[in-house]
Structure 1
Amino acid sequence: MDADEILFKKRLAELANKAYTDSRYLFTGFLSLAEQNVYYQMERELSYVPVTAFGGTADCERVMLRFGDKALCGYEESFPIACVEIAPLVEKFGEELTHRDYLGALMNLGIERATFGDIVIVGKHAFLFCTEKMSSYIMEALDKVRHTSVRCQIAEEAPESTVTRLERRTFQVNAARADSVIAKLYNLSRSESVELFRAKKVFVNSRLNENNSGQLKPGDKVSVRGFGRFVFVGVSGETRKGKLNVEADLYC
């Protein structure tokens, strides 16, 4: 366990304790999958206080944690999350920008990664989930992404999902093992797939998965750092030679 992880665990414990003793809601910033995994390691230890995770929509990868609920606090409080729409100043001159382009422009503003979460790209527009406190600064300071001049405003309607398109893939494996499915989906060798687990780059349902031989279950959401995300749909049949026909929805 490194020093950063120790400090983060201490911070989570402090938030949980303060929310419980003061009977008020407290929030983390937007957490990476690795940080979410640290929380799940402490979930039983912190079970004395209700915790909810949310990032702007139900399927956001980066989420905030809210410590407290109505029963504990005596009132309701929503997550302090705003959705900022980033659009070309002149639509016809807007580039087809990537997630990396938007992320780079935001990081160049000098803001901390914990202050904003997922970025959803819809055509030439992007929708950014960020803290309410940071939204004003982003709308004022962000005026260019790559070579495109942009304008920012609070979105009139936030996207219901971070998924703009899912692509159904059907393929054959000997078993519905996590390493076999990942190897097939991303055209990797078995050893390359196993190495991803050793490098702690595979997360299943926001939890670090180091068990490459573990079986995936229908509905499992899998994130592979450097490659992308997919939902394991399940086994649809078996060939005469005993191989499994499996399906997965790839985030595009």
Structure 2
Amino acid sequence: MNLTKEEQIILKHYHDLINLSYQRSIPAYSQFGSMSELELAYKALDEFYGHQNVSEEVQYKLYGGYPEAERKIICFLPDDRQSPVVEQDFPIACIRFLPANKKFCDELNHRDYLGTIMGLGITRDRIGDILVKKDPVFKAGTAYVFCKKDMVSLLEGITRIKHTTVVAKEVAFSSADWEITYKTITGSVSSFRLDAVLALAIRTSRSQTVALIQSGKVFLNGRICTENAKKLEEGDIFSIRGYGKFRYDKANALSKKGRYHITVQQYT
């Protein structure tokens, strides 16, 4: 695994956090990381503990503010911790953005919010997922931005996104009314192998999906998967860089031609 200079810096940072947790017997929290960056955290854990000894809830815990989060914080756990780390312990806050006047606003998207936030000098690793909920009537809907807790005052100070005046306020996760939406994809496959299901999900050939898998562009349940023959189970979540995020929903009856009818849900 040849790492870029930036990846080497991230890997060293994870190593430092693992050592901090181990030596001081305290939970050590990272910044927000993408799936690719979190793969470096797993590498650091494997190098520190040995691959056979690493498991979630024992050496580490992940959370991004809500169950389906793409960007997450990893908490490295001490061996002798006295109490479990729970989701509420993570230094994550949720900021809700609402247009001040729904009649006079732009149609805002993920890029608009991220661009404004980055324009404040906030680095990407301080921000988690950005969820934009469209309004059925007005152009600008509601946006929820997950961030590190020390970013709350800065984000609450934002009053304008593009040409739209907004009101930003921290809210409890339980009061946020976002919802995950899907596009349903149906079709038939010869097997439940990863390459076969991916080919259906993105409407391409199996040879092309094999190339995507082997180039490290496919994540299965949050981890890079380079095994094209991996058998999927109902509920598995896979992401393909450049194509989106999907959930293998269910398999139906076997057809007369020996193919399986399946349903895949694409996150929208």
Q: TM-score, length-normalised on structure 2?
A: 0.83
Partner in structure 1 of residue 111 of structure 2: 100
Q: Find 1:88's aligned residue among 80, 99, 115.
A: 99
Structure 1 regions of 5+ residues with no counterpart? Answer: none
Report the Cα offset of residue 25 of structure 1: 2.3
Deviation string for 1:31-60 (max 9, x for gaps)?
A: 110011122234443449731110101221
Deviation string for 1:185-237 (max 9, x for gaps)?
A: 22223343333224422111111122233222222111112221111123222
Note closer, same or farther for the CA distance 1:65–1:193 as it changes in structure 2 (3 Å cut): same
CA distance in structure 2 between the aligned counterparts of 1:239 and 1:160, rounded to whole angstroms: 43
Moved more, 229-238 or 162-171: 162-171
Note closer, same or farther for the CA distance 1:94–1:157 as it changes in structure 2 (3 Å cut): farther
Aligned pairs (5 A) from 1:12-23: 12-23=14-25
Partner in structure 1 of residue 67 of structure 2: 58
SS of 2:258 mapped into structure 1? coil
Amino acid at match of 2:211: E
Partner in structure 1 of residue 152 of structure 2: 135
Structure 2 regions of 5+ residues with no counterpart? Answer: 135-140
Higher RCO, 1 or 2 (CA under 8 Å, sep at least 6)?
Answer: 1
CA distance in structure 2 between the aligned counterparts of 1:163 and 1:242, rounded to whole angstroms: 37
CA distance in structure 1 between the aligned counterparts of 2:200 and 2:255, rounded to whole angstroms: 17
Do the aligned partners of 1:127 and 1:155 also contact (CA within 8 Å) in 2?
Answer: no
Identity %: 30
Do the aligned partners of 1:54 and 1:65 also contact (CA within 8 Å) in 2?
Answer: yes
Deviation string for 1:162-184 (max 9, x for gaps)?
A: 75213333211122222222222
Question: What's the RMSD between the two structures over aligned residues?
Answer: 2.5
Report the Cα offset of residue 78 of structure 1: 0.6
Note closer, same or farther for the CA distance 1:30–1:243 as it changes in structure 2 (3 Å cut): same
Do the aligned partners of 1:235 and 1:247 also contact (CA within 8 Å) in 2?
Answer: yes
SS of 1:249 mapped into structure 2? strand
Partner in structure 2 of residue 246 of structure 1: 262
Pairs aligned (count): 251
Amino acid at match of 1:126: A
